[in-house]
Structure 1
Amino acid sequence: MQNKNQAIFEILSTYGSFAKPFLNLMLLETKHDGWYHLFKSLEYSWKNKRNKSLMEIEKGLQHKKPKTLEYLLLAKKLSYLFYMKEYEISKELYTYLKENFKYIPKKSRKIVSSILINIENIMNWNENTRIWSKEYELDPSTEVFITLGKARKKIKEKDYKKAWEYFKKSYELSKTIPHRIGLINSLNDWSWYLKDFDLEKSRKLSKKLMYYMGYYFENNENHFGLFDTFFEINKENIESLYSYAPIVNHYWEKLPEKGKRNSKENYKSMFNILRKFIMSEKSTYENTEELRDYLKNYITNLSETSKKVNISRKSLSAILNGKVKEIKGDTLKKIILGLNIVPDINSPEAIINEYGKIYMEKSFRESIEKLEKMSFEERKKIFVNSYIACVYKPKMNLIQLKNLEFYDDFYIKWFIIEMVKGNEFLNSRKNLVNHFFEKMKRSKYEEFLTKYFELNKKERQIMDEFIRNYSRYDIKWNIRIELPEFLRSFTEKFSLKKMPVSLAYWYYEKGSDRRKLLNILNKF
């Protein structure tokens, strides 16, 4: 058990909160000894409850323990104290670990040295001395955040060329591990600081940020600031705003009203702009002063405009002078098309909504043209992948997809666009779904879909999450976790791999959530 504890703690140290399923498992399997308290401290740390993390470390140090565990506990104590800005106590513990480094067992040296190196890099407490071998300095997870710290330092020094090099290195290192926090932090900072120097490259990086956000995270309301970064970089790219607005709205609704981080009050100004790009079926609009002033900027000659937009001069005049109290959406569409109006974030909501409908109809026609060139099986595959990936799911069936005959339904049209064109966030989630099904036999695939569409809405949401997590956790872990016997039948029936099934099950920290998942899997 000692070796297993050590191996899993190394995984947790390497992958961070991405490896949460291992932690959930160990908190159930580990006895209430020093290892248990070490694991429990990580759980609190990932929830930013460092006082409780520190309390668990103190409890762990009170137990009888091997030297390997003792030094791991002391190293984590140093880490928590340091990030709580208890620098005086931190330096004493730092000095103790440095002076006793040669006594630290080899099994724990790598992790202890990583913490020491990270702190030393920030504080320069022992700038001229290295008492560990080079191999410890090259621990990838540590190097990611050291490099990211160097990039941020170079930004403050206005050495931007060097900063871009460090951001790139941090990003590339994060991909090789993979370390999801390293990935999003590197891309978030890099794209944010680059936007004033190279907007085109900054946009490309921000799209990669959205890809990895969708790929690695379920609870994206906890990382809402990444949407803010994307918005600031892409606020002049209205197609991106239309594409992402419904997704951002989905997670916005999950935010608390107030709070220091990730609350509605913190992102209110951003969302007040972005929400205008959430298209609605609205067909008439109040003729506000804002709307009239906006149109006057484009309509300087009533007679010429009348000919361009095919609206009488009298009607245009009535709109501009406010005699008309409401404007029909079709009227605004004529004006937008006739005058080649392209809105921006400061345009009236009526203009943004009607331009969005024009954009949607064009994108829908293009999407249908692509679907017409596909076989029904190809259509079915991308439909299923998209349905499981998307945050909003319309009421549509496979007969409609086969015949490409849809009701004139606003939400179905938007789903078809997301299905065919998508965006970086959605496409990463589609890739996860595709990976889950790619080795499944066709007969089992059909059976799976039949069972899936018999589930209710809540059950499908849980199953969607399980499918995505299966693919996220299908990487080489260099350790084996036993598949629970109650998952064996489902795993073998659908030709799935044992390890990612286990980890997708242990993803849930609450036993009640795992039982809900198990009840759904048993229906298959």
Structure 2
Amino acid sequence: MSSWEGSVHHHDIHDISVYENSEYLRDFLGKHISSLSFTSKSTGVARSKLSDILKGRTKKVRGDTLRRLIRGLKLKVTLVDLPPPMVNEWGKVKIKESFSEAKVKLKKLSAEDRKILIISTYMGETPLLHGDRTSEKCLDFKGSKKGVRDILGAKDKLGKAILLSCQDLEEFFLFMGKSFKTMRFTCAMMSNMHPLLEARRDLAKAFIKVLPEVQIQRFFKTYLSIDEKSRKIIDIFIRNYIRYNKRWAVKLEPPESLKPFLEILKLEATPTSLAFFTLEEDGERNILAEVISNFANLSKTLPEQD
């Protein structure tokens, strides 16, 4: 993956398609358009439209026009050089390319591996407990600030994505292709994310891999059944569990409130205890204990097999 393609995953791409024709944007385009006639022929954008944009007679610029300019002029610049609308549209170009590549790779995986990738990537997108928005850095124009978890976490879309990935891949691609955020999510399943988010994804994947097969299915069903706030707490616990899942000279007994969770998923006592006590504030531990207790109780009511 090129340095640009990797950086796509470090910036928020907005699903907007019309931008202000700012002086910053006009100056940038003016530096790269030496001939209106040549640019019109190479991009398919009418000469008169190009003139109106550069002279500021057009107040709004469509994203499709910018993407045509990006492709036709074969712009070779860094993200630092780009006005925000160009960053957004260049990101869309690269995401579409990566999405096509991801589709080919996903077709080669088993349904179970696709399911694990979707959930672990979803868990990797979690902001830090104290409001970190690393995965949702916004550009300086007005657009949707919804992260991909806001999209997939609503109306059981995560569950639908998983179901489609197992039953009908073409429908899955259509479903995930409706938004650039979900397209980028699909790309992130198969490639590099922001280093912090990639590490989180890999920790989540490692946790799933240590579970017995029957417990994996139970974990999936329960995770999809709880609300988004509870999912984020579980995500934090899981990352901490894997960090501490190693040989220890002593055995630490977990609090009574965690033991049902420990027994249901067949987890080790010491990393479970350390993952719990890693949270610094008693209030956070109480929330986690409550979420895990609810998680364990709900898990008991769910069948182990479809």
Normalised TM-score (structure 2):
0.78
Aligned counterpart for 1:415 among listed residues 179, 185, 191 = 185
Q: Which residue of 2 aligns with 1:491?
A: 262
Q: Which residue of 2 aligns with 1:371?
A: 106
Aligned counterpart for 1:427 among listed residues 170, 194, 198 = 198
Q: Secondary structure at the match of 2:287?
A: helix
CA positional deviation for 1:237:
4.1
Q: Which residue of 1 aligns with 2:95?
A: 360
| Native 8 Å contact 1:364 1:414 kept in 2 | yes
| Native 8 Å contact 1:336 1:342 kept in 2 | no
Q: Which residue of 2 aligns with 1:155?
A: none
The gaps in structure 2 that reach 5 residues or longer are 127-147, 297-306
CA positional deviation for 1:327:
1.3
| Native 8 Å contact 2:92 2:180 kept in 1 | no
Could you tell me how far apart the structure 2 residues matched to 1:509 and 1:309 are? 56
Aligned counterpart for 1:304 among listed residues 30, 38, 61 = 38
Q: Secondary structure at the match of 1:453?
A: helix
CA positional deviation for 1:486:
3.8
Could you tell me how far apart the structure 1 residues matched to 2:221 and 2:165 are? 16
Instruction: Provide closer, same or farther for how the CA distance between residues 342 and 281 of structure 1 changes in structure 2, counting only shifts above 3 A.
Output: farther
Q: Which residue of 2 aligns with 1:340?
A: 74
Q: Secondary structure at the match of 2:9?
A: helix
Query: Matches of residues 228-243 of structure 1 in structure 2 within 5 Å?
Result: 237-243=3-9
Q: Which string of whole-angstrom CA distances, capped at 9 and with x for unpartnered residues, describes residues 6-26 of structure 1?
A: xxxxxxxxxxxxxxxxxxxxx
| Native 8 Å contact 1:466 1:505 kept in 2 | yes
Task: Look at both structures and tell me which one has the larger radius of gyration over its CA atoms.
Answer: 1
Aligned counterpart for 1:450 among listed residues 200, 215, 221 = 221
| Native 8 Å contact 1:343 1:355 kept in 2 | no
Could you tell me how far apart the structure 1 residues matched to 2:35 and 2:65 are? 17
Query: Matches of residues 97-112 of structure 1 in structure 2 within 5 Å?
Result: none
What amino acid sits opposite 1:244 in the alignment?
Answer: H
CA positional deviation for 1:459:
0.8
Normalised TM-score (structure 1):
0.47
The structure with more helix, counted as a fraction of residues: 1
Q: Secondary structure at the match of 2:254?
A: coil
Instruction: Flag the structure with more relative contact order, 1 or 2, with Cα contacts below 8 A and sequence separation at least 6.
Output: 2
| Native 8 Å contact 2:203 2:242 kept in 1 | yes
Could you tell me how far apart the structure 2 residues matched to 1:237 and 1:457 are? 33
Matched residues, number: 257
CA positional deviation for 1:302:
1.6
CA positional deviation for 1:479:
2.7
| Native 8 Å contact 1:470 1:503 kept in 2 | yes
Could you tell me how far apart the structure 2 residues matched to 1:486 and 1:310 are? 65
Instruction: Provide closer, same or farther for how the CA distance between residues 447 and 312 of structure 1 changes in structure 2, counting only shifts above 3 A.
Output: same
What amino acid sits opposite 2:67 in the alignment?
Answer: K
The gaps in structure 1 that reach 5 residues or longer are 1-235, 246-277
CA positional deviation for 1:314:
2.0
What amino acid sits opposite 2:107 in the alignment?
Answer: E
What amino acid sits opposite 1:401 in the alignment?
Answer: S
Query: Matches of residues 143-292 of structure 1 in structure 2 within 5 Å?
Result: 237-245=3-11, 278-292=12-26
Q: Which residue of 1 aligns with 2:132?
A: none
Could you tell me how far apart the structure 2 residues matched to 1:237 and 1:381 are? 27
CA positional deviation for 1:473:
1.0
Identical-residue share of aligned pairs (%): 32
Could you tell me how far apart the structure 1 residues matched to 2:87 and 2:257 are? 52
| RMSD, aligned α-carbons | 2.0
What amino acid sits opposite 1:399 in the alignment?
Answer: L
Instruction: Provide closer, same or farther for how the CA distance between residues 356 and 343 of structure 1 changes in structure 2, counting only shifts above 3 A.
Output: farther
| Native 8 Å contact 2:276 2:285 kept in 1 | yes
Could you tell me how far apart the structure 1 residues matched to 2:255 and 2:57 are? 72
Instruction: Provide closer, same or farther for how the CA distance between residues 316 and 487 of structure 1 changes in structure 2, counting only shifts above 3 A.
Output: closer
